Amino acid sequence: MIMTAQSVTGIGPGDAHKRIAYLSSDLPKTKPTFTASNPQDLITGESGGGDIFPLDYTVFVGKNGNDATADGSISKPFLTVQAAMEYAWTNLVLPIEPQPIPPFRRPCIFVSAGTYNDGDLVLPPQICVLGEGFNHSRIQGNWTIDSRWSNYNPLLVPSDFRSSWINIGLFGDVDIDFDPVLSNEGKIYATDVRFGGDVIIAEKRVNPVSNSFTLNSCEILGNLTLIGIPTLLENCVTKGGTLFITQAVGAVPADTDNIFQSSGGSFGNIVITSTTPPGIAPIYICDFNHSVQSGATLTLDGPYININADISSIPLQSLIVLLGGATLNLIKAINPNYFSGITADRPPTPYTSQQWFDTTIGLPVWWNGASWINAAGVVV
């Protein structure tokens, strides 16, 4: 007999947490402790190739939890997210080392609906924090990382550490600085997350590293500050604050570490700073494929920036602020209805029929595919 959620009394299609509780009622109620002494366990989860129970790597957090008596099972959840993450780190991450942790073995902290006032939180590597929705599972504390993100494992050089937030609301500030913790390949992912506070992600070290930050379908209500970190924002919206993209002064990252890509939208202002010459650090490359709120400004500070953008991604020219030697030539696309400036600032890669009002000669000009021409068809 196949038992469905609808066939269980009191459980409806929308009661996901009840379905999990019912369908997992026969699963082990305590967390397994794994070691690297049995390589087969590291692959299948059971000696002899047995199936992996779906909740073996899930540590539950609930408002009915108790950190003192919890074992992480659905019947004995933790009360605080930090206690659950420390439990997962101690019992589900460290015992597998020094073997690399397969993706399916990274522990999941399942945060059931509720508001959790945990205070400050420290995100360990190799941990996924999963909620029931960013309006349902809400964590109020501030987030950082610590020295566990450094190369603690001598057999993993560099250490490829990854953690994530999924389907959850983080309503404190997030301050992730890969520099002081000496992270070589730290990667943090966020999917369907509402960031209610300010978010700062930084990598400022001078040696080449491969840390990164990836957001998918997220909302950022405060400021988002990115310092020297390769970042992808896909279908994300920065709503209330300013987006700061800053090159780390004196840093010498790999070329790919200076790429910022964004799709979605910007309701606030955007400030991009790159003042270090390319002989010391590569040029910042920013790809915008999103829409900007009317009235939002774009500030470019420094000449070592390349911006690739579609015509809806950049504010009107009157709302673009140029500092530190920056010019409009740094932008490969701009709203064509508002092109104007001196002859030297004509777009470097214009499209055919693009118009520019040349303030040096006081006349509009058009790009015909080969040259700039005036209304009479004369090259000017």
pLDDT band with cut points at 50, 70 and 90 for residue 256: very low
Tell whether 56 and 101 lie within a shared domain. yes
Closest residue by Cα to residue 125 from 78, 172, 93, 83? 93
Give the structural domain span for 262.
198-338
| pLDDT at 120 (0 to 100) | 93
Tokens of 32: 């397994």
Number of structural domains the chain divides into: 3
The C-alpha atoms of residue 161 and residue 142 are separated, in whole angstroms, by 21
Exposed (0-12), middle (13-18) or buried (19+): which is 5, by Cβ within 10 Å?
middle
Select the more confidently predicted residue: 44 or 371: 371
| pLDDT at 6 (0 to 100) | 38
The C-alpha atoms of residue 271 and residue 300 are separated, in whole angstroms, by 6
Residue 190 belongs to some domain of the structure: no
Residue 229 belongs to some domain of the structure: yes
| pLDDT > 70: percent of the chain | 69
> Dihedral of CA 205/206/211/213: which sign?
positive
- Mean pLDDT, residues 236-260: 68
Residue 96 belongs to some domain of the structure: yes
Q: Which of 156, 174, 209 is the last residue of a domain?
A: 156
Tell whether 219 and 143 lie within a shared domain. no
| pLDDT at 80 (0 to 100) | 97
Tokens of 187: 């990667």
Residue 330 belongs to some domain of the structure: yes
Tokens of 41: 């366990």
The C-alpha atoms of residue 209 and residue 232 are separated, in whole angstroms, by 17
pLDDT band with cut points at 50, 70 and 90 for residue 330: confident
> Which stretch of 58-72, 95-109, 201-215, 273-287 has the lowest confidence by average pLDDT?
273-287
Q: Which of 156, 184, 206 is the last residue of a domain?
A: 156
Tell whether 21 and 105 lie within a shared domain. yes
- Mean pLDDT, residues 228-233: 83
- Mean pLDDT, residues 229-250: 81
Tell whether 244 and 322 lie within a shared domain. yes
Tell whether 43 and 84 lie within a shared domain. yes
Residue 29 belongs to some domain of the structure: yes
Tell whether 53 and 144 lie within a shared domain. yes
Residue 92 belongs to some domain of the structure: yes
The C-alpha atoms of residue 245 and residue 250 are separated, in whole angstroms, by 15
CB atoms within 10 A of CB 92: 25
Looking at residue 192, its amino acid is D
| pLDDT at 363 (0 to 100) | 84
Query: Of the ranges 194-203, 223-232, 247-256, 310-319, which is most confident?
Result: 194-203
* Cα→Cα distances 133→5, 21, 291, Å: 20, 18, 25
> Which stretch of 148-162, 237-251, 347-361 has the lowest confidence by average pLDDT?
148-162
| pLDDT at 48 (0 to 100) | 39
Residue 24 scores a pLDDT above 80: no
pTM of the model: 0.71
Select the more confidently predicted residue: 152 or 11: 152
Residue 168 belongs to some domain of the structure: no
| pLDDT at 30 (0 to 100) | 45
Tell whether 315 and 250 lie within a shared domain. yes
Tell whether 29 and 146 lie within a shared domain. yes
Select the more confidently predicted residue: 34 or 292: 292
Residue 8 scores a pLDDT above 80: no
CB atoms within 10 A of CB 60: 25
Please, what is the average pLDDT of the chain? 76
Looking at residue 169, its amino acid is G
Tell whether 266 and 289 lie within a shared domain. yes
Tell whether 52 and 73 lie within a shared domain. yes
| pLDDT at 308 (0 to 100) | 74
Tell whether 55 and 24 lie within a shared domain. yes
Q: Which of 102, 133, 156 is the last residue of a domain?
A: 156
Tell whether 106 and 239 lie within a shared domain. no
